[in-house]
Amino acid sequence: MIAASHSIDDRMNKLEKGLMIGRGRWIADFNESFRKFRIRDVEFDAFIQGNTRTRGFLLSRLFSVMLNPNYSVGCFLISTESVKHFDRKFLSKAISEIQSYMKDNEMKWSWLFIFAPKGTGEIRKHVESISDQSIGVVLVDADSGNMVHSNSYLGRQAKKYVKI
């Protein structure tokens, strides 16, 4: 259990670091990260916010300003081990809290990365069945790093561009 917990922390730190130094720049420019981020009753391990207007140098910056819309976006991270009972009900609640936060803060889309040790069949099925197009949900196996994504464009993009 301790080894898995370390592995989850390491993977979470790696993902956060990757996004903060610009690994997700093809999708968005993530520039601010909060730990222990609470939305009402749900505490996420991390929340990284950004926007779709990517940075760059001269020409790429000019193109970005002229062509890219400046949407606010976010990435939420949560570990199944930091929650007492992480089940379908909790996941639905977390998603609805994210939706309300997005609405309040005029965010266009979000990612939700769930880090779990092996043996999360029920959650896996639930993640695969999520079809909300404004939230990309990804379940990460903390041991192997394998990812399962929700049935949305954002879910597929998360798997494609984010390396854990």
Partner 1 sequence: MSGAHIFSPIQIYSLFKSCAIIFVVQALIVLFSPIPLVDPWRFLLLAINVIISVILGWRFYRYRYHMIFTYDKGGFTLKKGEGKAIEHKWNDFTKVSLFRSEYGELSVRLYRDSEFFDLPVSKVKMNPFDFRFEVMQLVSSFKGKN
Give the CB-side neighbour count of residue 18, counting CA atoms within 13 A: 15
Would you say 16 or 141 has its CB closer to partner 1? Answer: 16
| Sequence-ordered list of residues with C-beta below 8 angstroms from that of 19, at least 6 positions apart, any chain | 30, 33, 48, 50, 75, 162
Least distance from partner 1 to the Cβ atom of residue 3, Å: 21
Would you say 14 or 159 has its CB closer to partner 1? Answer: 14
| Sequence-ordered list of residues with C-beta below 8 angstroms from that of 107, at least 6 positions apart, any chain | 71, 72, 73, 74, 101
**Residue window 6-35: x/- pattern of binding to partner 1, with contact defined by CB under 8 A:** -------x--xx--xxx--------xxxxx
- Interface with partner 1, residue 89, by CB under 8 A: no
Judged by CB under 8 A, the residue of 55, 88, 125, 163 near partner 1 is: 55
Give contact residues for partner 1 (rule: CB under 8 A).
13, 16-17, 20-22, 31-36, 55
